[in-house]
Amino acid sequence: MATMFRYQLPVEQTGWTLSGETQTSFTWEYEDERSKLLALYDKGKKQQWDAATRIDWSQDLDPENPQEIDDRLIPIFGSAIWEKLTDKEKVHLRHHQQAQTLSQFMHGEQGALMAAARIVQTVPDLDAKFYAATQVMDEARHVEAYARLLNEKLGIAYPITPGLKSLLETVLTDRRWDMTYLGMQILIEGLALAAFQRIRDFARNRLAASVNAYVMQDEARHVAFGRLALRDFYPQLSDAERAEREEFVVQACYHIARSLQPEGAVGEPRPAREGGHRGGHGLGEHAHVPQAPVQPYRADGQGHRALGPGRAEGVRRHGRHRVRGGRQRRAARSGQPRGRGVRRRGVRPKESRLTAGTPSDVPAAA
């Protein structure tokens, strides 16, 4: 069955075409490369893997909880809505929520495939072109793995969310090569890496963990690639150019926030298609989960910018000065010390565990 028939929400078109200005850059210097990028390129060549043979696809997902993820990660867990759900409805919710998340991974990986190919075309340095070429293969492999997981194991999929679609359009249509790096290699890949870490820590299904571990290994290299490539370029920018990129990051974060809000992932079932099954969750009257609207980064007409609806929670920006925001105001009212935010006592930043749960911990298919 084609993926178009597995989508649980309406899909207006079978494809999506973007138009933009793209500049193709050739270089005739073949020896003046950066050693760290070449080392990353060499690592990328050595760590290539075949999704068809490295992963044991004879394994199955759990019928009641596909990735065997803790229910506490479900946004409505513990709420009155959750308590009213029957066991059958909870199984249905787990299945659809995880399918929605994996679908966004799949769509995002296709966007990363396009971005990596664009970097090969537009970046001026040969060492960056070399590494981006290995990333093209990485992203194609990721799309293959997630498509197979959704089509063969879950049996359903969800369309791309408007937030992720808007972000990909912004990243892929900007003519400047560093914007592709900033949007894809730093923001999108960085967010994906954090999501994969979360699955690594909470998913117990071996098939899902295997796919996640191999993809996560590649994504860590991709984020490192973006940081290395931009490290030498951004100090050369003027204040105006840097401010423009800061504005881009805030806008991108807004789109990322929208992409994390699944639209229609929970709700009334759609009518049956001709000769097909019904889509949607079918959770009935308990399914409506209202969400606060998220507004984009905006100017208020007097040079002050704030993110989100109404008063900003956190730190607002006014020019290059930081103005006390929500957390600091609450600290002042409660008598706690003022400063750059309030840190809870006894809570330390979590150490990075990028090396834990790597593919070396997951047995390959025989």
> Number of folded domains in the chain?
1
Is residue 139 situated within a structural domain? yes
Residue 246 lies inside a defined structural domain of this protein: yes
349 occurs within a structural domain: no
**Position 212 in a domain:** yes
Tokens of 340: 């750059």
Cβ atoms of 258 and 294 closer than 8 Å? yes
Does 165 map to a domain?
Answer: yes
Range of the domain at 156: 50-59+67-264
Is 94 part of any domain? yes
Give me the tens of pLDDT residue by residue for the chain, a chain 366 residues long. 677 777 777 776 666 666 666 666 666 666 666 788 888 888 888 999 999 999 999 999 999 999 999 999 898 999 999 999 999 999 999 999 999 999 999 999 999 999 999 999 888 888 889 989 999 999 999 999 999 999 999 999 999 988 888 888 888 888 888 998 898 888 888 888 888 888 888 889 999 999 999 999 999 899 888 888 888 889 999 999 999 999 988 888 877 776 666 555 444 444 444 443 334 444 443 344 333 333 333 333 333 333 333 333 333 343 444 444 445 545 555 555 444 444 444 444 444 333 344 454 444 443
3-state SS string for the chain: CCHHHCECCCCCCCCCCCCCCCCCCCCCCCCCCCHHHHHHHHHHHHCCCCHHHHCCCCCCCCCCCCCCECHHHCCCCCCHHHHHCCHHHHHHHHHHHHHHHHHHHHHHHHHHHHHHHHHHHHCCCHHHHHHHHHHHHHHHHHHHHHHHHHHHHHCCECCCCHHHHHHHHHHHHCCCHHHHHHHHHHHHHHHHHHHHHHHHHHECCHHHHHHHHHHHHHHHHHHHHHHHHHHCCHHHCCHHHHHHHHHHHHHHHHHHHHHCCCCCCCCCCCCCCCCCCCCCCCCHHHCCCCCCCCCCCEECCCCCEECCCCCCCCCEEECCEEECCHHHHHHHHHCCCCCCCCCCCCCCCCCCCCCCCCHHHCCCCC
Residue 98 lies in a domain: yes
Residue 333 within any structural domain of the chain: no
Question: What is the CATH number for 169?
Answer: 1.10.620.20
pLDDT for 228: 87
